[in-house]
Structure 1
Amino acid sequence: MAERTALLDGPQRQGVVQTVLDNNPGMEPGMAERIVDEATKFVLTAAEFPQAALTPSRVVDEGWHGLILHTRLYKALCARRGGYVEHTPGYDPENYDPAILTRTQAMMREAGFTPDEELWTAPDKPLVTVAAQCQHGKDDGPIIVQPKPKPNGG
């Protein structure tokens, strides 16, 4: 799958994949790689389109959590396409809107990425069970993109 830009280099990617594996005992390494790649595409898209009200699936959110734990990498990743993408967990199981996952995938395509559609399922139909129990989903949800600071504070 050719992407508009490379996602993460080998050592960066492997570090985040290992974090996802550590948080999800028994997960196949190939699945963790897919999840990290999809979370990377999601974060780059959210940074590029801060007004789009995007949200990850529960499975993709697991990869987002892995990325966030690698703070320097995550900060640099967000800066590649825009501002820092804040994450505030939501745990309300009613906070699910199927249309937002469809819209998120459409915006990922607009950003030049091909979504791994198997990872974008409803929270009650995940491809794989993950440790992340966040439930993002409302348009006024917990994802906030912080704009890039202006040079010299101006």
Structure 2
Amino acid sequence: MAGEELFDSLTHFVIVHNGQSSERAARIADQAVAFLVTAATATVPMVPSDDVDLGLHALILHTKEYAALCDRYAGRFLHHNPMPGGGARDPEKVAASAHAMKAAGFMVFDDLWTVNGTNLAQCDSDCGRPYGQA
């Protein structure tokens, strides 16, 4: 999907810039790419968790690769839409995003789908494999 070189770069970025362990950074990178691919065709507003947002920001900063992934999966560039003035993430939208990823066949790492420490994924143990509103 993202290619090993991009995945390694995303993982390294999250380690260096966000102080995450190698294993956790790799899982954050995985969820960020899965989030982007899901968001490309999602029918719900996609909002990342606090942790997944770290990976999304790393991915967006890889502009060439990000644009290519957007084109490949969405057929258009998916713009970053930060909430004006910041503000809290909507827990219902974060939970819906995790469930949309699962429905799309991606594994959802529950521990990375939290907002202010509260788990929102509530993913069952039958998770699948190992951005999109204009």
Smaller-chain TM-score bracket: 0.7 to 0.9
Instruction: Using structure 1 for the length normalisation, give the TM-score.
Output: 0.70
- 1:59–1:126 CA contact under 8 A, matched in 2: no
Instruction: Select the structure that is richer in helix.
Output: 2
Structure-2 residue corresponding to 1:54: 46
Unmatched runs of 5 consecutive residues or more in structure 2? 120-130
CA distance in 2, matches of 1:105, 1:89: 18
Question: Displacement, 1:36?
Answer: 0.5
Q: C-alpha displacement at 1:39, in angstroms?
A: 0.5
Q: Is residue 31–residue 108 contact of structure 2 (8 Å, CA) maintained in 1? A: yes
1:66: which partner in 2?
58
TM-score when scaled to structure 2?
A: 0.79
The answer as to whether partners of 1:58 and 1:126 remain within 8 angstroms in 2 is no
| Count, aligned residues | 120
Contact 2:36/2:132 (8 A) holds in 1: no
Which amino acid counterpart does residue 4 of structure 2 have in structure 1? G
Q: Which residue in the other structure is 2:24 paired with? A: 31
Q: C-alpha distance in 2, partners of 1:47/1:144?
A: 5
RMSD: 2.0
Q: Any unmatched runs of 5+ in structure 1?
A: 1-6, 128-142, 147-154
1:76 offset after TM fit, Å? 1.2
Q: What SS does structure 2 have at the residue aligned with 1:48?
A: coil
Percentage of pairs with the same residue:
32
Highest Rg: 1 or 2?
A: 1
Equivalent residue for 1:85, pick from 56, 78, 87: 78
Question: Over residues 27-55 of structure 1, what are the superposed CA-to-partner deviations in whole Å (9 max), with x where a residue is unaligned?
Answer: 21111100010010001111122x42111
Alpha-carbon distance between aligned partners in 1 of 2:38 and 2:132, rounded to the nearest angstrom: 13
4+ residue runs over 3 A deviation? 143-146
- Measure the CA separation in 1 of the matches of 2:71 and 2:103: 18
Q: Distance in 1 between matches of 2:133 and 2:47?
A: 12
Question: Which of 1, 16, 20 in structure 2 is aligned with 1:22?
Answer: 16
- The one-letter code sitting in structure 1 at the alignment partner of 2:87 is D
Which of 56-65 and 103-112 deviates more?
Answer: 103-112
